Amino acid sequence: MTATAPSGESLWSRCDGCAALLYRKRLRRNLDVCPECGLHARLAAPERVSQLADPGSFRPLPDRAVEVDPIGFVDVLPYPHRLAAARADTGLAEAVLCGTATIGGSRCALAVMDFRFLGGSLGCAVGELITRTAEQALELDIALVLVTASGGARMQEGALSLMQMATVSQAMAALREVGLLTVSVLTDPTYGGVAASFATSADLVLAESGTRMGFAGPRVIRQVTGRTLPEGFQTAEFLLRHGQIDMVVPRHALRARLATLLAATRRRATNRPGATAPPPEAARPMPASRAPARDAWETVRLARHPGRPTTLDYLETTFDGFTELHGDRLGGDCPAVVGGVARLDGRHLMVIGHQKGHTTAELAARNFGMATPAGHRKALRLMRLAARLGLPVVTLVDTPGADPGVEAEEHGQAAAIAENILTLSVLPTPVVTVVTGEGGSGGALALAVADRVLMLQHAVYSVISPEGCAAILWPGRTAAPQAARALRLTAPDLCRLGVVDEVVPEPDGSAADDPEATARAVRQALLANLLPLLDVPTVTLVQRRRRRFRRFGAARAGVRAGAR
């Protein structure tokens, strides 16, 4: 199996990964993925379009690329000769195939690069075609999908090829300004000027399995630095671990994953603030006055119970579908925060939450739900994306607090939390928070500046843990039960203080005893509180959110204390 899957007459092909001899028809049925070792062969642009677009839906751009030779470049051959040879070899006019199509029924503008054509290099004609495709998306009010495969900017066109990075990026910025989705699908290889512009500046960045991506290629890095590169360097899995991409998708699942994302972010009136919302499907959760009292320290222990449902559990049971998005795009992907696009009663929304675990191994792997700066910045990226796309935001809070480690401090933990709080204060889309377990200090508030704050009956929410409070203000940590009672950290207490709007009932015992019933209660509470917010104009929504938190000033707090 050669590096680029050919259309030759040979009946057999040898895989470059495992050297297996493969029957070509079987290989094609498997989308040019080796059934023995999983190696993804490179695809020509027409084959890629055929695999991704709904049958018969692709319509190429009406304009063909103009032939350019801006600087009269000559190496061993004149540049025009190289262009002519590339056209003859590939049957394409340029290194990108552009048009409109539907993927899973969702219409989009589509630009697919072809590495066979001069290494998929970005020149003036390629930049012009991709820019026109973005402009078509803007005109038609549809998403833009870019499939990249490139060695970088085209040297034969000098600095003008470099300018294409800015030209295409500007066109994508115009889509961002009006809230149209951009999706980049990285395929092997994606390097240089393409990687450093539109391939990684899209709203969502997916990587096909086996993809390599970076600004400089590994050979250049070794030459310049003299260092041995780590195993798996610049591979899709490496990029995922380092927060650079949202997900790695095998080729056979790529079309379905794109279809899900395009459907979730398609512009609809029901997903924008100010739209008319249908009636909720269930009654509202119980007010504070009906919530039965329980000792505060006992509540703390219930909130920390390892059997309580986690965010991933709720995403499995409360919501109707979920596509996880990864990474802060700055170098990290904190496992203590999960987020992505979900559906709730037919409506798409962004869900972000702390993730703990049920076993010791899971808790350790998720840092016990304590977000690093990368986790807060991942949440921030998803909040801003939701706002651009008109998606409501639901946050699920369950953390003992933000990560207090040295590395977190080195990477700006305080500033990361502060930026989340600031952004949520002005986010132009509805935000509903549910405190599902522990709501610990600033780490909790970083996801909880919301229009409506709900709290499970046996959850807690506090400025500090009872143990921490006892260690500071009492003779020792053994006074934690007393501190828990003094902190007024239970749901009924916080409802009376106005910090929490409503209490979501838990089944007999607690959420750990009946996770399914708890999931149903959370679903009902979310629908009852989220749907009315969809009717509120954006300006009013933000003003109300600001007033909600303004009321916690000293004079108002004094009034509430006097009432107690």
- Annotated binding-site residues read 15, 18, 34, 37
Judged on CB neighbours under 10 Å (0-12, 13-18, 19+), 56 is exposed
Q: Nearest-5° angle of CA 542, CA 493, CA 294?
A: 140
> Residue positions in the annotated binding site for Zn(2+)?
15, 18, 34, 37
- Taken as a whole, the chain contains a residue count of 564
For residue 148, the SS3 value is strand
In a 10 Å sphere around its CB, with 0-12 CB exposed, 13-18 middle and 19+ buried, how is residue 283 labelled?
A: exposed
470: its two tokens: 């006892």
Q: What whole-number distance in Å separates Cα of residue 170 and Cα of residue 198? A: 9
Retrieve residue 383's tokens. 């909040």
Q: What is the C-alpha to C-alpha distance for residues 158 and 174, in angstroms, rounded to an integer?
A: 26
* Angle CA 480–485–489, to nearest 5: 100
**438: enclosing H helix or E strand:** strand 431-440
Give the DSSP letter string of 502-529.
EEE---SS-GGG-HHHHHHHHHHHHHHH
Query: Rounded distance, CA 187 to CA 207, Å?
Result: 6
* Spacing of C-alpha 50 from chain mean position: 27
Tell me how far apart the alpha carbons of residues 110 and 253 are, in angstroms, rounded to a whole number.
18
Residue with tokens 């007010």: 287
Separation of alpha carbons 354 and 441, rounded Å: 13
CA angle 56, 62, 66 (to 5 degrees): 130
Give the DSSP letter of residue 76: S
Task: Match 């969702």 to its residue by tokens.
Answer: 106
Other C-beta atoms closer than 10 Å to the C-beta of 203 total 24
Helices (H) and strands (E) in the chain, counts: 22, 18
Asked if 499 and 465 touch (Cβ cutoff 8 Å), the reply is no
Distances in Å between the alpha carbon of 261 and those of 74, 181, 247? 44, 9, 12
The closest alpha carbon to 459, from 299, 313, 308, belongs to 299
Cα–Cα distance between 374 and 540 in angstroms, integer?
Answer: 31
Token output for 339: 């987020």
DSSP string, 232-270: TTTBHHHHHHTTS-SEEE-HHHHHHHHHHHHHHHS--GG
